[in-house]
Structure 1
Amino acid sequence: MLREFTVPPVVAGTPSGGLADIVFQHAREDPDRVVLGRKTDGVWGDVTSGELAEEVLALAKGLLAQGVGFGDRVAVMSRTRYEWTLFDFALWAVGAQPVPVYPTSSAEQVHWILYDSGCTGCVVENEDQAMTVGSVIERLPGLRRLWQLDAGAVAELVADGAGMASDVVHRHRRAVTPDAVATVIYTSGTTGRPKGCVLTHANFMFEADTMVTRWESVFQAGAGEQPSTLLFLPLAHVFGRMVEVAAVRARVKLGHQPVLAAAELLPDLAAFRPTFVLGVPYVFEKVFAAARRKAEAEGRTGPFDRAVETAVRYAEAREQKAFGTGPGPSAGLRMEHQLFEKLVYGKVREAMGGRVRHAMSGGSAMSRRLGLFFDGAGVTVYEGYGLTESSAAATANPPGATKYGTVGPPIPGCTVHIADDGEVWLHGAHIFSGYLNDPRGTQEVLRGGWLATGDLGRLDEDGYLTITGRKKEILVTSNGKSVSPTALEERVRSHPLVSQCVLVGNDRPYIAALLTLDVEGVAHWLSMRGLPQQAAAELVHDEELTAEVRRAVVAANTLVSQAEAIRTFRVLPGQFTEEGGLLTPSLKLKRKAIEKAYAVEVAAMYQR
């Protein structure tokens, strides 16, 4: 196994200027090119490069008119929507620093972020968020402005700046240098108080331009098609923010979708018809589960499952050929694959808009089998890995050489090092400059220019990284056995009846699991058995359903030794939610909070 691996950069030289420059450059070069999609009254419309530059300039003038100065920080608290992108580039144009805030944040979280970052202004989406800010505003003496998107904030600012000369904005913009702070993004905080990651214009430009250059096939489209993506990731998260920047820099048509739920997302995918999407494993799991439920409801479970097996074998054969370990799909396998193209694979792609051929996934681990299925179904999913501190992706599977089950080699210009204890360290121009107002925390993670991630991993002989766990999440049983929970949880969660899975077992004799039920999966399970619909919470003690879930646990246990296996589990009546304090805004499990909230249930699993 390798201990260190570097990929040479593909972006030459040091960038100049700041992130807002590209908006005005594109407007000069190709003002009529469509670069954004905007949904108004349920209908998608186009926004050209020229129109975007005009809107950014008008909003920037308004910000200056209302007192936003060079270097000021302005919070943006909203779901993913067109106006967020407008504010980002307008703030960058005047040399200000947007500070993203999740729209679901509590009043105390909002207070901490705005106080710690010293925000002088705040943009909110609606009245509820305005009230959240209002409830802590007395403890924010530096906050001078509050704008509400749904109350006409953009129009108000544009009107205020109408009399200002455009050159005032451009003087501010030209004063921005690559090493200037672009944004402060607060970590989700699975443990402790969120920390503000300071990211520069150079960090973002290096990361975005590297991704666009190396993954050119993703950011391009077929003949006669314009590349486009529908952004449904939260813009408060670094992954969503990098997608925004990369799309604008690459002249990719960018649309915004504020709701991740399938009922809202799938219709907009069908209407917007992106050529690629960027998401988290949850999205791809939902697309697959919906396709299988539909096949089962139509009495085509057998053909669907055979199509899945064919897709997986076909993708595996192509993977082996790419790495020189096999001849590729046989003639028989190619014929079988072609048979299922119209029956199954085309319908899966149609659920994603019909034009998607590439996707990127990050945020958490995707199962190898799911990745292989989508590849075999005609959608190549490039899984990657990164942190807020690394400006999003630090590794990613490259075009033509994807290894499913890994998060790929370092992105060009990045080095991955595996420390003696298995911790993943990162080095490159995308690494942040430190935590705001926290020199001690910065010193703990930045070691001689290397970012110590806190994640555990291994590099294979080709330099591909596999994340095996997180240092703080390793469970150590009372027998001294160390268990990384991620792979087991992921395998259990792959069952259509299971929504979430958390392993426990620290200082206890064996590993146990807390599970929640998938609401849509349960409804389908009842329907297929001709049973009346019931809430998932009413079925936690149902013997037949419990037996189905037990099969998922048994299948997961085949991955590990007996000492590491799940010995018992408990199905819970509710879900782990962000509102309940059990998930971060990026849907990561707050393990300690979950174990504390369900202390009685955990204790019961060990009373034997």
Structure 2
Amino acid sequence: MAAAPLVGGLADVVFDHADEEPHRVALGRKDADGKWQDVTSAAFRDEVLALAKGLIAHGVRFGDRVALMSRTRYEWTLFDFALWAVGAQSVPVYPTSSAEQVLWMLHDAEVSAVMVEHEDHAMTVASVIDRLPQLKRLWQLDAGAVAELVEAGAHVEDEVVHRHRRAVTPESVATVIYTSGTTGRPKGCVLTHANFMFEADTMASRWESVFHSRPGDEAVTLLFLPLAHVFGRMVEVTAIRGRVKLGHQPELSAKALMPDLVSFRPTFILAVPYIFEKVFNAARRKAEAEGRAGPFDKAVDIAVKYAEAMEARAFGTGPGPSAGLRMQHQFFDKVVYKKVREAMGGRIRHAMSGGSGMERSLGLFFAGAGVTVYEGYGLTETTAAATANPPERTRYGTVGQPIPGSTVHIAEDGEVWVHGSHVFGGYLGDPKATDAVLNDGWLATGDLGSLDEDGYLTITGRKKEILVTSGGKSVSPAALEERVRAHPLVAQCIVVGNDRPYVAALVTVDQEAVEHWLTMQGRQQLAPGELVRDPDLEMEVRRAVVAANTAVSQAESIRTFRILAHQFSEQHGLLTPSLKLKRKAIEAAYETEVDALYR
């Protein structure tokens, strides 16, 4: 277990590592031609120091709050550590945030400066700047902000930065991260240097073995999660502290991500279930297009059975894979599983997943295909992971055990409570909201769950999302939605039924998957308006709904559904930046469609 730090702050390791191993490759960054270039510990230290001097020259002082509004890229990490080096606090802002959201966060956090990525972001800030009297500075990355700041700080002595850095203590505030706001106005979670150091060092010490393809090789990860989200931020800090070579990829889409996985060749990744679903579905579509759907499905079946047998052996409930199963697994490893791994860069043997639940069968497939996915669970308020599956005993379909130094308790009403050094101290300027979730160091998460006999946690839903039908039946929508989404043609599913006579659902489809499906049937492509009325597509979605219903009682089952022409998007205010459904917003936007489900 990692001990809670007694002195110092997050920026210290940048300087310590440069002194200890100046030539070690710490990061990779793309040049103007899109080629990966190595950045050594010493080079990164020099860049952090130069930028920190520039921040001081521009008036950033100890304790000031500076907003960062950008996609995931190298310069964000550079700014984070430069701000921490001068004792300032970063306030991450999603690059897709609206003007009103930006106004709220910058006003609430009393931000004095903001770094944006490009002109569109600058215009968003500019549109509300007259209502932000405390905002004094705006820097734009794509307009040469880093070079401008470095030049401005050239006359500042290095010792000025070091004096600021030495004044940072573990209790100093490192960042204020705003919640995604699924149930109301975002709240600023105040996280300290100690919160991040404990979380990162615990993950690095307990899960260090999974950072590598094989023992003794270098550890490399490609970060593509949004750095405005606590999960992405924890990956950034853990990589720098844990001496993991770190690369950045700005787009959380399979099309943009896959080429960079191949060129950067990470040894492990941290992702959300959506990425693993995309990799699996793309592999299956490719096999189907080549007339090999049958063998692929057989390979999936063998991978799942093999992983189940390995899981049973790890928990002492089975002997492991039989000789026949091992032979079949070996055969499919050469013809199927190897290609899945190659699509992810070729070196990945381990991955971590969080943000939402992953289907047990998907986790088993990847494990059987040679990529063990360790599912975990956490919140912004717990500085990311509070639980995770241990390397040697993964129980697929659960989010694992409490991380070392953390405790999980299930309250009488089923709510998950968490305690540990990674739990935040409260919401910025909101003692009432803080008191509502913190009780003597215990965080009431708002999530519902259960612990099995081995202490593995399963999340079953959120307290605020429980539907109660007019007949008085309580229904947790998350499990149903997850099962419907398991169908390759389904993109999203939202279950409705609050104060209604029965449970129903709105479903959106994956356009790429539907196009492939129509092609394989020898049919012409259909416009979105035609798709929603297509009887064959309706039959496919009905199969997904029927499969989901087998896991619940009749009173909890989805009685009817409607296919929508377009997916829920963040741009239309229907998803959070971490791709969670904004239930109230969706039900309001599709009020007519929901009403039609009950006629």
What TM-score results when the alignment is normalised by the length of structure 1?
A: 0.98
Question: Amino acid of the residue matched to residue 2 of structure 2?
Answer: V
Which residue of structure 1 lines up, in the alignment, with residue 455 of structure 2?
Answer: 463
Give a deviation string over 1:412-453, Cα, whole Å, max 9, x none. 000000001000000000000100010000000001110000
C-alpha contact 2:223 2:269 (8 A) present in aligned 1: yes
C-alpha contact 1:11 1:210 (8 A) present in aligned 2: yes
Matches of 2:91 and 2:310, distance apart in 1: 43
Question: Amino acid of the residue matched to residue 319 of structure 1?
Answer: E
Question: Amino acid of the residue matched to residue 226 of structure 1?
Answer: E
Question: Amino acid of the residue matched to residue 586 of structure 1?
Answer: S
Matches of 2:462 and 2:414, distance apart in 1: 10
Which residue of structure 2 lines up, in the alignment, with residue 410 of structure 1?
Answer: 402
Give the alignment of 1:1-150 within 5 angstroms.
Answer: 10-12=1-3, 14-40=5-31, 41-150=33-142
| Paired residue secondary structure (1:132) | helix
Give a deviation string over 1:227-267, Cα, whole Å, max 9, x none. 10000000000000000000000111100000111111100
Which residue of structure 2 lines up, in the alignment, with residue 7 of structure 1?
Answer: none
Matches of 2:539 and 2:213, distance apart in 1: 47
Q: Could you tell me which of 515, 534, 540 is aligned with 1:542? A: 534
Matches of 1:527 and 1:358, distance apart in 2: 34
C-alpha contact 2:66 2:111 (8 A) present in aligned 1: yes
Q: CA deviation at 1:52?
A: 0.2
Q: CA deviation at 1:537?
A: 4.2
Q: CA deviation at 1:224?
A: 6.4
Q: Could you tell me which of 217, 228, 236 is aligned with 1:225? A: 217
Give a deviation string over 1:20-63, Cα, whole Å, max 9, x none. 00000000000000010101121111000000000000000000
Residue 477, structure 1, aligned to residue 469, structure 2 = yes
Give the alignment of 1:287-306 within 5 angstroms.
Answer: 287-306=279-298
| Paired residue secondary structure (2:540) | helix
Q: CA deviation at 1:548?
A: 1.1
Residue 496, structure 1, aligned to residue 469, structure 2 = no
| Paired residue secondary structure (2:297) | helix
| Paired residue secondary structure (2:479) | helix
Change (3 A) 1:325 1:576: same
Residue 378, structure 1, aligned to residue 370, structure 2 = yes
Which residue of structure 2 lines up, in the alignment, with residue 363 of structure 1?
Answer: 355
Gaps of 5+ in 2: none
Give the alignment of 1:371-450 within 5 angstroms.
Answer: 371-450=363-442
Which residue of structure 2 lines up, in the alignment, with residue 189 of structure 1?
Answer: 181
Which residue of structure 2 lines up, in the alignment, with residue 161 of structure 1?
Answer: 153
| Paired residue secondary structure (2:123) | helix
Which residue of structure 2 lines up, in the alignment, with residue 516 of structure 1?
Answer: 508
| Paired residue secondary structure (1:18) | coil
Question: Amino acid of the residue matched to residue 362 of structure 2?
Answer: L
Which residue of structure 2 lines up, in the alignment, with residue 348 of structure 1?
Answer: 340
C-alpha contact 1:517 1:536 (8 A) present in aligned 2: no
Higher relative contact order (Cα pairs below 8 Å, separated by 6+ residues): 1
| Paired residue secondary structure (1:335) | helix
C-alpha contact 2:212 2:268 (8 A) present in aligned 1: no
Matches of 1:531 and 1:241, distance apart in 2: 45
C-alpha contact 2:209 2:215 (8 A) present in aligned 1: no
Question: Amino acid of the residue matched to residue 565 of structure 1?
Answer: S
Matches of 1:107 and 1:158, distance apart in 2: 29
Change (3 A) 1:265 1:376: same
Give a deviation string over 1:367-410, Cα, whole Å, max 9, x none. 00000000000000000000000000000001010001100010
Which residue of structure 1 lines up, in the alignment, with residue 208 of structure 2?
Answer: 216
Q: Could you tell me which of 513, 522, 527 is aligned with 2:519? A: 527
Matches of 2:22 and 2:335, distance apart in 1: 42
Matches of 1:224 and 1:408, distance apart in 2: 26
| Paired residue secondary structure (2:433) | helix
Q: Could you tell me which of 537, 556, 571 is aligned with 1:564? A: 556
Matches of 1:290 and 1:219, distance apart in 2: 25
Which residue of structure 1 lines up, in the alignment, with residue 319 of structure 2?
Answer: 327
Give a deviation string over 1:200-230, Cα, whole Å, max 9, x none. 0000000000000000112244356321000
Matches of 1:119 and 1:358, distance apart in 2: 39
Residue 593, structure 1, aligned to residue 585, structure 2 = yes
Matches of 2:245 and 2:24, distance apart in 1: 9
C-alpha contact 1:522 1:536 (8 A) present in aligned 2: no
Which residue of structure 1 lines up, in the alignment, with residue 170 of structure 2?
Answer: 178
Matches of 2:389 and 2:449, distance apart in 1: 16
What TM-score results when the alignment is normalised by the length of structure 2?
A: 0.99
Question: Amino acid of the residue matched to residue 27 of structure 1?
Answer: A
| Paired residue secondary structure (1:532) | coil
| Paired residue secondary structure (1:583) | coil
| Paired residue secondary structure (2:402) | coil
Matches of 2:238 and 2:525, distance apart in 1: 45
Matches of 1:577 and 1:34, distance apart in 2: 38
C-alpha contact 2:448 2:462 (8 A) present in aligned 1: yes
Q: CA deviation at 1:347?
A: 0.5
Matches of 2:314 and 2:167, distance apart in 1: 47
C-alpha contact 2:508 2:563 (8 A) present in aligned 1: yes
Report the RMSD for the aligned CA atoms in angstroms. 0.8
| Paired residue secondary structure (1:332) | helix
Question: Amino acid of the residue matched to residue 533 of structure 2?
Answer: H
Give the paired residue count: 598
Question: Amino acid of the residue matched to residue 529 of structure 1?
Answer: Q
Q: CA deviation at 1:477?
A: 0.7
| Paired residue secondary structure (1:502) | strand
Q: CA deviation at 1:164?
A: 1.1
Matches of 1:415 and 1:535, distance apart in 2: 51
Q: CA deviation at 1:535?
A: 3.6
Q: CA deviation at 1:91?
A: 0.2
Q: CA deviation at 1:282?
A: 0.3
Q: Could you tell me which of 236, 248, 273 is aligned with 2:240? A: 248
Q: CA deviation at 1:13?
A: 5.0
Which residue of structure 1 lines up, in the alignment, with residue 264 of structure 2?
Answer: 272
